[in-house]
Copies of this chain bind each other. A is one copy, B any other.
């Protein structure tokens, strides 16, 4: 066990680079992070970085993909436990909002990534939005939700969540209270999608 294969060591340096970059991006932001500095913090040099990731943007893409994968898993886990499809959908939106509150996700995905790649991170094609869209399409087919364009509305919900997370995290105001108020507002907006009884 104390003996590591060559392939394992390579993977270790890649993972170490990724983890250190993720930490640095989250705490200082992508633009403010010097590749010299944080590679040194990882005990390596920029040479290793450019070998594994090609460019600073390539590194950011790798970090985004890692985070997106985690987000996808957590959303899936949370919403799968709900009893009805609609409640599952609602839970997915709420959980999305809670995830967006984590500083790492807000800073890297919602804040910096947008400026680098204009649109939603095309890199990982935003797992969260895709899943939201799929859930919406099912609900529309089942007649629970009015016939809207699922892709459009999924994106809009993503926007709701994004902005709400920034609002909640604003320096003034109580985050807990704001989270509750945001979840309430989210509920009202989502209710508009339902078919009238």
Residue positions of A touching B, CB distance < 8 A: 29-31, 107, 111-112, 114-116, 118-120, 146, 148-149, 151-153, 155-156, 158-164, 166-167, 170, 178, 181-182, 184-186, 188-193
Bound: A188/B120 CA distance, A: 23
Name the one of B107, B152, B191 contacting A167, with C-beta atoms under 8 angstroms. B152
Name the one of B148, B166, B188 contacting A185, with C-beta atoms under 8 angstroms. B148
Q: Which residues of B contact A188 (CB under 8 A)?
A: 146, 148, 153, 192-193
On whether the beta carbons of A118 and B181 are closer than 8 Å, the reply is no
Some 28 contacts from A to B, beta carbons below 8 A apart, are: A31-B115, A107-B118, A114-B115, A115-B115, A115-B116, A120-B163, A120-B166, A146-B188, A148-B181, A148-B185, A148-B188, A149-B182, A151-B167, A152-B178, A152-B182, A152-B184, A153-B185, A153-B189, A155-B163, A155-B167, A156-B160, A156-B182, A158-B163, A159-B164, A162-B162, A188-B193, A189-B189, A192-B192
